[in-house]
Amino acid sequence: MSADIEINTEKRNFDQEAANWDQVPGRVKMAQDIAHSMIQEITLTPDMDILDFGCGTGLLTFALQPFVRSVAGVDSSQGMLDVFKTKIKEQNLSNVKANYLDLDKGDALEGSYHLIVSSMTLHHVKNINPLLKQFYSILLPSGQLAIADLEPDDGKFHSNNDGVFHFGFDREDLHRTFIDAGFRDVRHRVAAQVEKPVGGGQTRLFAMFLMTGRK
């Protein structure tokens, strides 16, 4: 399974970045905008159980948590999860949990969910289709998948592309991958935009899309 999916994060030390991850205003705003687009696109209800794949420090999780029954966050960075778990304690939340999961090491996605969300993680995954099929398998009937990631970025979004398999995604290509994995009612829209320096004193506006599909 790990060879099929292969998540490329080993060259980037997310554990080391975790403590200051939430201190970047643009990153926080981007997560808020993506959460807002998900709330607009998907009807969240108090009986929903959600999985946040690649949850990081929980920026997306904690934005969605008030609207649903439970959120489980999974990530392969223990440093990120430590920050996540500190937030759970500080906010005294009983409906949020965070677990270490490394598909490269043979860990498997478990549980049953009404909704799976993932934000800015897919470009770290070499083979998208096996992962989407795993998502499909743990969704409840009529469950939904919501993925936010980069529009094609020519490799300019990250200052260092270690750990990056995809320089953004063509939406139509990813749409077909959703369909191949079994999803129906696939839709996509712009979810967020962020301006970042790209060298030479120049900045560029990068766009993130939201793609949703139903089992």
CATH 3.40.50.150 for the 2-214 domain, yes or no: yes
The structure tokens listed for 4 are: 């099929």
Query: Which whole number is the average pLDDT over 70-96?
Result: 93
Calpha distance 41→35 (Å, rounded)? 10
Return the minimum-mean-pLDDT range out of 1-5, 154-158, 176-180.
1-5
Query: Which whole number is the average pLDDT over 173-187?
Result: 97
Q: What is the pLDDT of residue 1?
A: 38
Other beta carbons within 10 Å of 184: 10
Contact 213, 143 (CB under 8 A): no
**Which tens digit of pLDDT belongs to each residue from 44-70?**
999 999 999 999 999 999 999 999 999
Model's pTM, two decimal places?
0.88
pLDDT exceeds 90 at position 9:
no
Sequence ranges of the domains in the chain: 2-214
Calpha distance 36→10 (Å, rounded)? 30
Q: What is the pLDDT of residue 10?
A: 46
Where residue 150 falls (left for φ over 0; alpha for ψ -120 to 50; beta otherwise) is beta
The structure tokens listed for 61 are: 């999780």
**Which tens digit of pLDDT belongs to each residue from 19-53?**
565 566 567 898 999 999 999 999 999 999 999 99
Calpha distance 147→98 (Å, rounded)? 19
Calpha distance 70→22 (Å, rounded)? 22
**Which tens digit of pLDDT belongs to each residue from 115-173?**
999 999 999 998 899 999 999 999 999 999 999 999 999 888 877 788 889 999 999 99
* Angstrom distances, CA of residue 23 to CA of 18, 33, 38, 196: 10, 16, 23, 16
